Every structure is written in structure tokens, then in C-alpha cells.
Structure 1
Amino acid sequence: MSAFARHRRSKRVIATFTGFEADLLRSLASQLVELLRNEAAVPDDDRDPLEAMMDFSGPTTAPEDPVLARLFPTAYTDDEEAAGDFRRFTEGSLRDSKAAAACTIIDTLEEAGLPPELDEDGLMIDVELEHDTATAWLRSFADVRLALATRLEVEDGDEDYWLSLPEDDPRSQAHDIYEWVGYLQETLVDALSH
């Protein structure tokens, strides 16, 4: 199983992934980008002139998708107007930031040699991350884990449930991916702190 470590000489964060692991990471990051960017734009006709000039065109209501609702929680649960204003001014840039972090994973893996279509089972991909790139990976791992946990309805203390599922159950396999991304996140934090 792959893990991140700090390179002794360069002080960069390094990891080696199998082709399958690298392709899985790219797929997870791509799905996150698609989810983050798949929203209906506010029609120009309906925009406030000041809003159009300042480009504060973000949404004012919480997303319907449960994953997006977890990624962008309501800031003021007791004040709907303040919550809408906060969301309108912040959610667009937050979406862009989260999508950019996920794209960093995709770009890094492709720069490291992951072909667009993986066709070699024995392929190994080495990544070497500068601090800023490693931080982007870390932020994206948190978003991917939150998305998976939301879709799977993972809760604190439900480990026995996940262990009771047959190995060939798709939910068990998805939970294994959730756990694996958590392991990568943990080793990346450790590598960055040394």
C-alpha cells in the first residue's frame, strides 16, 4: 500500500503508486471536479446590476446534493438572509479552490507519467510534491473523504457494520477506498510535519 514520506535530501514529499492506485486517485479527483463545477449558472437577465459588476454571482441557497451541502455548509443556520448573502459571496471562490486542488492531483499524476488511459497493470507512478502541491493534495483528500462519507452515510462508531459486509459488496469496496484515502491523508500530514 502506498504512503507518503519526506525525502531526506530534497525535503519534498514523495510517494509511489501502482498504476491502479494512481488511476483511482485521478478518477476520484475528476469526479470531485465534475461535482463542484456541475451547477446551473445564474442567468444574466436575473442578476442584480451591482452583483454583475462585482461578480458576486454565487448561489444563495444551500445545495440540494448532500455532498455539496456537506462541502458548503450553511454559515448562519438561524439567519436565512445572512446565510444566503454569505453563500453568494463565498461559495463560488470556495468551489473554484476545491476544484483547483483536485485538479492539482490530476495534473501531478499525469506529469508523473500516468497515461490518459491506463493499460498497464504493472505500471508504477512516482510523485514528488513541493510543499504547496502537497497541501493542495491534502485539502483535496479531505474533500474526497467527505464526499465518500456522505454518499456512504458513514457515521462515528459504525466500524462493525462495514466489517460485516461481504468483500464483494460494492459498499464495502467503496468504504475501503474511503479508508485508503484516509490513510493517504494521514501519511501526508505526517510527511508534511517532519
Structure 2
Amino acid sequence: MPGHFEPTPGGGAAVTLDEVEISIIRSLAVQLLELVGPGPGGDAPADPLAELFADGPTEPPADPVLRRLFPDAYGGPGEAPTKPEEAAELTERSSEFRRFTENDLRARKREDALAVIRALDGLTTDSNGGAVLRLAADDSRRWLGSLNDLRLAIAARLEISDEDDADLLYRLSDEDPRKPMVMAYLWLGGLQETLVTTLMP
């Protein structure tokens, strides 16, 4: 899947996608949307003001993909505390941070995924089964956020945590059941990289 983003006048970007590529991205974005969920109050909150000030969760998600999408704010890899009291303090700080930020982060990820789905639904393919996706600068940023989320989700499913893990992907045999997911991961990485380039001044 050789498609890559190119800059357009006004700070936007464009990419040619075929029907298979459109279907893959849309399917992954829908799955991401379902995984992130409708939010704390569902699709239609009775009191939007109360929803705005609702506390978020304080515990990390159980699902490894959601843990990758919504990581703890404190105590990342290589920062393991040496004393129990330090561990307790890090846990408390992470819980407080999560409580006040995760709802907003989930909302942003939902909006990004919805922007991707709507953009793809608005495409009309030509006689060759291809379509040109054109994004304004703001849409490019939403797409960039969603492409990043999709790659994080796939990386979590593939148990990729560092560059060494990623290097192993290139050596998988064609018979490996992970191969289609790996190909999607690498292809999305190419799209993400070229989209970043279009946003550079």
C-alpha cells in the first residue's frame, strides 16, 4: 500500500487511497471508537454542564490497548521507585491526574476517530477504485492523532514496547498469523510519517 500524504496549499494534505486502504482505515477507526467508548455519560448526557465537570476514572484501564492509549502520567519505564512510600505517592499522583484528564483525552480520541470515519465516508471512488483524500490543516492534525492512536493500539496487541520488538516484525514469516496486523502497523506508520512532514513549516 504505497499511498503517502503530500502537502497542499494552505497547510493541508492529500493522499490517494484505494478501496482496500479506505476499508482498512475505516474499520480500524470504528474499532478504536468502540474501544474508547461513548464517554462517562453515554451518547446523550442529560446535563451537559455536569458532564463537563464529571470526575474521570482513577485506576488504569484493564485492557492493554487502553492502558497504552491512556497511560499513567507518572512513573514510566525506568522510573520505578525504590521505596514503598515513593511508589504510593506516584500511584496517588497518577490517580489524581487521570481523574481530571482522562475524560477529556477520551473525548479528543473519539473526535479524532470520528473525523477519520466521516472523511472516508465522504470519499467517492473513481473507475479504478481509488479516491483522493484532501485534508485541511485542522483535519490533518485530527488524522495525525487518530493514526497515532491506531498504531499504539496495534502495537499493544502485537506486544511491541520498544524498537527491538519493532525490528522483529520485519522478520516474520508470511505464514505468521500476526503478519496482516504487522503490515497494517507498518503501513500506518508510513502514512503517519508523511502526514507529519506536511505539517512542518
TM interval, shorter chain, is 0.7 to 0.9
1:157 aligns with 2:164: yes
Could you say if the C-alpha distance between residues 88 and 133 of structure 1 is closer, same or farther in structure 2, counting changes exceeding 3 Å?
Answer: same
**Structure 2 counterpart SS, 1:181:** helix
Equivalent residue, structure 2, for 1:95? 106
Question: Quick one: which amino acid aligns to residue 188 of structure 1?
Answer: L
Distance 1:168 1:107 in 2: 34
Equivalent residue, structure 2, for 1:13? 13
- Output one character per residue of 1:146-166: Cα deviation in whole Å (capped at 9) or x when no partner: 111111012312355323322
Equivalent residue, structure 1, for 2:80? none
Deviation of residue 53 (structure 1)?
8.1
Equivalent residue, structure 2, for 1:148? 154
* 8 Å CA contact retained: 2:33, 2:113: yes
Question: Quick one: which amino acid aligns to residue 59 of structure 1?
Answer: P
Deviation of residue 10 (structure 1)?
5.4
* 8 Å CA contact retained: 1:19, 1:121: no
1:66 aligns with 2:64: yes
**Structure 1 counterpart SS, 2:163:** coil
Distance 1:164 1:172 in 2: 10
Distance 1:54 1:39 in 2: 11
Map 1:1-194 onto structure 2 (within 5 A). 1-7=2-8, 9=9, 11-37=11-37, 55-77=53-75, 78=87, 79=89, 80-113=91-124, 122-154=128-160, 155-159=162-166, 161-193=168-200
Question: Quick one: which amino acid aligns to residue 173 of structure 2?
Answer: P
Distance 1:121 1:167 in 2: 31
Q: Which runs of 5+ in 2 are unaligned?
A: 43-49, 76-86
TM-score scaled to structure 2, two decimals? 0.79
Question: Quick one: which amino acid aligns to residue 66 of structure 1?
Answer: P
Could you say if the C-alpha distance between residues 156 and 54 of structure 1 is closer, same or farther in structure 2, counting changes exceeding 3 Å?
Answer: closer
Across the two proteins, how many residue pairs are aligned to each other? 179
Deviation of residue 75 (structure 1)?
1.8
TM-score scaled to structure 1, two decimals? 0.82
RMSD between aligned alpha carbons? 2.5
Distance 1:171 1:53 in 2: 40
